[in-house]
Each structure stands twice: as C-alpha cells, then as structure tokens.
Amino acid sequence: MNAFKINALAAIATLTFATPSFADDLVFVLKNGTNSVLTHFYTSPVDEEDWEGDVFGNHTLAPGESIKITIADGRDVCDYDMRFEFQDSPDLDTTTDTQDLCELGEYTIEE
C-alpha cells in the first residue's frame, strides 16, 4: 500500500474510535391509571441521592391520559427511581417506584 492509503486508513480509524459515544434517549409512555391528577413526575438514576427536575414542568396528566416521556440525560444507565405527586389525593399524595427504563415501553401508575 502506498503512504497515502495508509494515512487515510489511519485517519478513518482514529475518527471512528475517537468519536464520543452518547447514550440513547430513554423513551416510554406514561399513563395515569389513577382517579387523580398527576401534577409532578421526577426521575433520577438509582445511584443518585437527590431527585432531578420535574419532567412535567407546568403540565399535568389527568386520569386516563397518557404522555410520551423522553429522558435525554446522556447517561448510560437504565435503572431509574420515579416519584409521582398527585393533586388533592390523600391516598396517592406521593408514590415512588424503580424501573429499568431501557426495557420499559409503557408504564401505568395505578392506585
């Protein structure tokens, strides 16, 4: 091989292996299977001490409604803690769960 081909192959190999790898976004459908309005939804990887920001922001999820959730935090983890807060519901004031979000296609929060 001539020097040009060797240098070109070396450059391609360097670019291939030097490109940073990014984690895929975690996408699932969240369904409110309760009789209460879901006002806040928080997630964080299981090894984190604190909850991260409210996924809903200013939005809510009424009973029976579904929403597509995308967690694009760039992490390479699958197991997340989830925290759900409801409006005016003494039975469901705050509910938590842990799930493998990489395998989850749909999650229904129920009473």
DSSP letters, the chain, are --HHHHHHHHHHHHHHHHSPP-PPPEEEEEEE-SSS-EEEEEEEETT-SS---BSSTT--B-TT-EEEEEE-------EEEEEEEESS-SSSSEEEEEEETTT-SEEEE--
Domain ranges, ordered by start, for the chain: 22-109
Measured distance CA(87)–CA(64) in Å, rounded: 15
Which pair of tokens denotes residue 87?
């409006």
User: Which tens digit of pLDDT belongs to each residue from 8-61?
Assistant: 445 455 444 444 444 578 899 999 999 999 999 999 999 999 999 999 988 999
Statement: residue 110 has pLDDT above 80? yes
Q: Does domain 22-109 have CATH number 2.60.40?
A: yes
What's the confidence (pLDDT) of residue 107? 94
> What rounded mean pLDDT belongs to the chain?
82
Distance CA 61, CA 36 (A): 9
